Amino acid sequence: MTVHIREMIVDDIPAVFHLGERLFTAEEVQNLHRTWDEYEVLTLFSTEREHCLVAEDEEETVVGFALGTTIEKRKSSWTYGYLLWLGVDPENQREGLAQRLFRQFKQRMAAAGARILMVDTQASNEEALEFFRKQGFDSQEKHVFLSLNIDDERRDLEDREAHRVGRQVGGRPRNGKR
């Protein structure tokens, strides 16, 4: 099978999003699942198109993607490249596609002036960690991801807002005049 790597185009957005949905599942990678949505794809595509790549097979099916961004620090000449999302269709894994996507991503980042590339993933995502090590990422630092459930606060705010709107509607005379 021939697969080629190219810059993403607008028509790829649904395919990339749906492939990501299959890959970033709550069971496998909960943190990635939480932040993967259509806006993520849309935003990266509209702001960093040159750093959004897809792997496309002979039937023009998207079988992989790499999406990233550059980070420029104010008051510093350093530019970082950040590979945010990388995925390959399970049917096409271990065929070197992520490696090809990554190589092209790296070249584009170098052309954009990046000196350091960064990636992150869940500590339990062994396959991705193995992949990144193979690409030469060696200084691995532990980064703890915490989450806090603030649903009670959200519900309180909703209740207060509903109460406030109810009072306004209830307090307004029927003919709209005060």
Ligand X SMILES: CC(C)(COP(=O)(O)OP(=O)(O)OC[C@H]1O[C@@H](n2cnc3c(N)ncnc32)[C@H](O)[C@@H]1OP(=O)(O)O)[C@@H](O)C(=O)NCCC(=O)NCCS
Binding site for ligand X (CB under 6 A): 23, 29, 32, 85-88, 93-99, 121, 125, 127-128, 130-131, 134
Round to whole Å and give the CA distance between 32 and 55.
21
Round to whole Å and give the CA distance between 79 and 128.
24
Q: List CB contacts of 174: < 8 A, sequence separation 6 or more.
A: none
CB of 160 to ligand X, least distance (A): 38
CB of 162 to ligand X, least distance (A): 39
CB of 76 to ligand X, least distance (A): 26
What is the DSSP code string of the chain? ---EEEE--GGGHHHHHHHHHHHS-TTT-HHHHHH-SHHHHHHHHHH-GGGEEEEE-TT--EEEEEEEEEEE-TTS--EEEEEEEEEE-GGGTTSSHHHHHHHHHHHHHHHTT-SEEEE---TT-HHHHHHHHHTT--------------HHHHHHHHHHHHHHHHHHHHHS-TTS--
Nearer to ligand X, 59 or 151 (CB): 59
Nearer to ligand X, 144 or 169 (CB): 144
CB of 46 to ligand X, least distance (A): 20
CB of 55 to ligand X, least distance (A): 8
Nearer to ligand X, 5 or 86 (CB): 86
Nearer to ligand X, 20 or 114 (CB): 20
Nearer to ligand X, 98 or 117 (CB): 98
